[in-house]
Structure 1
C-alpha cells in the first residue's frame, strides 16, 4: 500500500482513516505565522456517505485505500443480493441490498453502472445520470386541464413513481434524471 504524507492530500484521493475507506473532498494546507503547519481536510466516508472535517499535522501520514472501480451491468436480484456482471472479465458480482440505497429504483436488466469495491466487497453503486424507463401506469389527462396542475403521477417499470407532464401516456419511454428523480424528456 502507498503511504501519503498529509502535505500531498488532494481532492479525489482515497485513503484509510479509522480503518475505513474515505475520499478526500477538499484539502487546504495552512502555514500559520507561529507554530507547526497543518492540513484542513473534508473527508467523505465511502461506506455511508457521511462528510467529516478533520485537521492533520503536516507530519502525519495515512495509507491509500485499495478501491477498485468496475464497469458493470445489472442482471437480477433475489431481494437480499443484487447481481451485476463485470463488463471486462464477465464475472458475476453480488451487492447487498443496503448498498444500493436509492439506486435500486432505477435498475432494469442490463443497466450500466459503476461498482466501487473495497476488500472485494461492493461498497457503492453509481448509475449514469440518466436512464430510460417505460411508463406502466398513469392517469389519463383531461382535455383542457392545463390551468391546475401541469404534472401527474406515473409509475415506471421499476416500481418507482415520479411526476410527469400531462401529455405522457402509458407505454411511453421517458428519460429520468437518477440524481434528482425527475422527468427529463420523452424518448421517441
Structure 2
C-alpha cells in the first residue's frame, strides 16, 4: 500500500514521487503570503538523473512516499570512474558510478559500511553513516591559544572534500565530519 505524505511532512532526505520521477528533498521553507495560501519552496534532487531543481508547492499538496529497501554494504575501493562495494550478505562486488553516488563520494574511505538504497531491484544510491572520520591532508598550521576565538580555516580532507575547521586543528589529524551538513564536529578520539 502506498504511503501518502503532504508538504507539511517534508524533511531533508524525504523521497517521493512527483511528475513521473523520484525526488529527494534537499531543503525546504514554508512561506505564508499576505493573501492566499501558503507555499513550500523546495530544493530537490532527481534520484535518477541526480539533477537539482527548486520548485514551489502549494501547502497541503500530497505525494506518494518512496520507501527504499536497504542492503548493508562496505566500500572497498575506487576503480576508474566508479566505486566498488561489497554486499555484506552475499559478498558480491557491486560497481556504482559517480553519477549514482553524487556527493556521497566525498565521504567514502576504505571499509566504510553503508546501506545501498534499492527500489524495485535497482540501486538508487547509498545511505552514509551520520558521522565519518577523515584525515586532514592540507590546512594552514594551527596556533596555540586559538581554541576560544571561534574562527575557522579551510581544510582539505583525504577524500578531496573541503570543510572549515577550528584554528587549532592541524594537518595530519583525524576529524569527525557530519555527512548530512558537511561540517566539522570534533577531533577523532584516539
Q: TM-score, normalised by structure 2?
A: 0.65
Q: 1:141: Cα distance to partner?
A: 2.6
Contact 1:79–1:97 (Cα < 8 Å) also in 2: no
Question: Which residue of the partner structure matches residue 165 of structure 1?
Answer: 166
Q: TM-score, normalised by structure 1?
A: 0.66
Q: 1:172: Cα distance to partner?
A: 1.2
Contact 1:94–1:122 (Cα < 8 Å) also in 2: no
Question: Which residue of the partner structure matches residue 90 of structure 1?
Answer: 91
Contact 1:113–1:128 (Cα < 8 Å) also in 2: yes
Give a deviation string over 1:78-101, Cα, whole Å, max 9, x none: 242211111111111122211111
Q: 1:45: Cα distance to partner?
A: 5.9
For structure 1, the residue ranges without an aligned partner over 5 or more in a row are 24-43, 57-61
Contact 1:66–1:119 (Cα < 8 Å) also in 2: no
Contact 2:77–2:85 (Cα < 8 Å) also in 1: yes
Judged with a 3 Å threshold, the aligned counterparts in structure 2 of structure 1 residues 164 and 91 are, in CA distance, closer, same or farther, namely: same
SS at match of 1:170: coil
Contact 2:143–2:168 (Cα < 8 Å) also in 1: no
Q: 1:66: Cα distance to partner?
A: 8.8
Tell me the distance in 2 between the aligned counterparts of 1:152 and 1:75: 31
Tell me the distance in 1 between the aligned counterparts of 2:114 and 2:147: 38
Q: 1:20: Cα distance to partner?
A: 5.0
Question: Which residue of the partner structure matches residue 108 of structure 1?
Answer: 109
Judged with a 3 Å threshold, the aligned counterparts in structure 2 of structure 1 residues 174 and 16 are, in CA distance, closer, same or farther, namely: closer
